[in-house]
A and B are shown apart, each in its own frame.
Chain A
């Protein structure tokens, strides 16, 4: 179970992994996520699903190697197994024929956005996609997105490719009627910017939120977000919500709670890992 079939590096520190899990592959829908645990001492962390192949029993995830767990996941080789994977979790995205749908995928979340955009296309929508990254080296899935979109725009924070920032979206929204906007990014600030851009145009903007999660099944409430003044659990009530109703300050603050511990854990792992490796080499000499 959970054997890695394909592993690719899409950009520096951005990896794609396709693993075998027939239960998840037969059930997953765009917008849902899996919770992964690397080994019995590992933390449980969510990854939004980037695609499936029910025939092969394949599930695709794309992730940034930023912390201890994601680095360990990225270090697995094809043929190796991921310890624990639970899913699909969360509610599937609302896929309907809305008319014109603008799909924004930032960074690694371009992966799940591609999966969801394809579903919007299949449902008969005109699909405009925007892929974004900090710089051109970190852009991923451009060709895939281009193939499934009616129109593709590229945006980078530093302007090294495509438009600089997201302000150009105003021109799109003024230029044509967009019926729905979908935003995915682990950078909460980017999603917030997107929602502020679309708000004046009154276009319903759905965002996939990525708060801290623990079990991912509605048991702990660490992922609580406030949407329209109501407390919601992103894991069971989301993860997609109306972005114009999200309390962004709260989300940003809650996402930072454990950043110190995450850094400690990652640094320690790197340091201890290196020490062990060098000691091991010394003993072999």
Chain B
């Protein structure tokens, strides 16, 4: 898949390293606090080329090693620096069918950009922004970019079922379709995209972009998409195999919400982050009553947790008109799992961070709605197994926060639907599916990847798992022809 660098062509090194990156335009906080539109506006052509020119084209590019899907980053950046957008698009689409999503939501700062040589002295090359720019250009200029004109190999006659149309499933589907296999995706919801449609907000990832990436799979790569199919209920894995599928890839994610398990948590106006985000992202409750699904957001909202999902929920609450929105977290800012960029965005939008705080009880009103939460103060002790310092309750530190909306955003766990119906599929005590590094599960002909194997993680790591599984499935299918 990788397109090698031209062997003899020497890339001109910039005379002086440009240590400062080109800033990207963003909606100002006071404006974006009140609208659902994308916060980061992306580079202009001039900005993108300027940023791409910062790349020094390392002989041993470390950035690629940081990319879970092995995009040939220096080559596409070079093409972009030379203004050759079709070539840049071709390189990216060669290894990544969801670049407009990745360019927006990948944690580049801990992946490709973390390894960037320039980053050792100044800002790294902002690879994510460049990927986004090229992907957006390619989508908006299909004729010129040529991404829709790809030659698919002769059909192999092999059929693969992909369960779940999230990042893992879509990547696996696209790789297998490009290898000539017949691919059918089964999606439980009425829209494809998985976490990209129900989890990640419009203001971080516009849904029309997700739709365009899925259209690409269906219209260009010939992947068949079956929506409203709750595998595990509508059909079991064995039934699919009996139905003629040669292999199955399980990319069903970690969709079941976790709660605090404290008294009063079933009061009204206590949402799982999943419910809150499904209402707003999948069902577009921010457009109620033009869309039928409502969402109630109070004036004082507390989101418990400090991952990306917590930031998303808090930032939606701001946009839905809450006066005060809190992130309540039991450790400190240094331990927050969210991307720094998202924490900064949330803070700029007015989200208040209450760290070293743990809710212990929900106090409901006479009408059954949350009225306050009782919290305790924490302090950090010795590091735990995750390497982060363990939070310990400070004795006698109880206090109350008056709030009217509580959103536990504590992460998610695998949905047990498919494992329950598939006894020969080995799972861990956490409910995740056991799979080797290639995604092969304990069940014959069944692979798995993404959050269903790792527990809640990132879009790009799920895509990497989808890719590795696709490679292995393809190899097995070709060997057994």
Q: Which residues on A are within 8 Å of B, measured CB to CB?
A: 23-24, 27, 32, 37-38, 41-44, 68-69, 83-89, 214-215, 217-222, 224, 226, 231, 236, 249-250, 253-254, 257-258, 261-262, 264-265, 268
Contacts and interface: CB of A to CB of B under 8 A. Distances in A.
B30 interface: no
Interface stretch (B63-71, B146-154, B289-297, B380-388): B289-297
B188 interface: yes
B442 to A, nearest CB: 23
Interface in B249-288: 255-257, 259, 265-266, 268-269, 271-272, 274-275, 278-279, 282-284, 288
B256 A258 contact: no
Contacts of B233: 27, 32, 87-89
Given A86-B228, A87-B230, A253-B367, A220 B415 contact: no
A89 B296 contact: no
17 contacts: A38-B292, A86-B230, A87-B234, A214-B283, A215-B189, A215-B282, A219-B255, A220-B257, A220-B278, A220-B279, A221-B257, A222-B272, A254-B368, A257-B268, A258-B294, A261-B296, A265-B292
Contacts of B234: 23-24, 27, 87-88
B229 A23 contact: yes
B480 interface: no
Nearest to B261: A231
A45 to B, nearest CB: 9
B59 interface: no
Contacts of A222: 271-272, 275
B190 A37 contact: yes
Given A89-B233, A214-B283, A236-B417, A219 B257 contact: yes
Interface string B169-200: 00000000000000000001110000000100
A219 B252 CA distance: 11
A214 B417 contact: no
A219 B278 contact: yes
What's the interface size class on B, roughly? 35 or more
Given A41-B290, A41-B292, A43-B283, A84 B228 contact: yes
Task: From B257, B259, B417, name the one whose CB has the most chain A CB atoms within 10 angstroms.
Answer: B257
B404 to A, nearest CB: 13
Given A23-B235, A86-B228, A219-B257, A265 B266 contact: no
Given A23-B235, A86-B230, A215-B189, A231 B259 contact: yes
Nearest to A35: B228
A37 B271 CA distance: 22
B278 A86 contact: no
A136 to B, nearest CB: 33
Task: From B190, B233, B288, name the one whose CB has the most chain A CB atoms within 10 angstroms.
Answer: B233
A229 to B, nearest CB: 11
Given A41-B284, A231-B259, A231-B266, A86 B275 contact: no
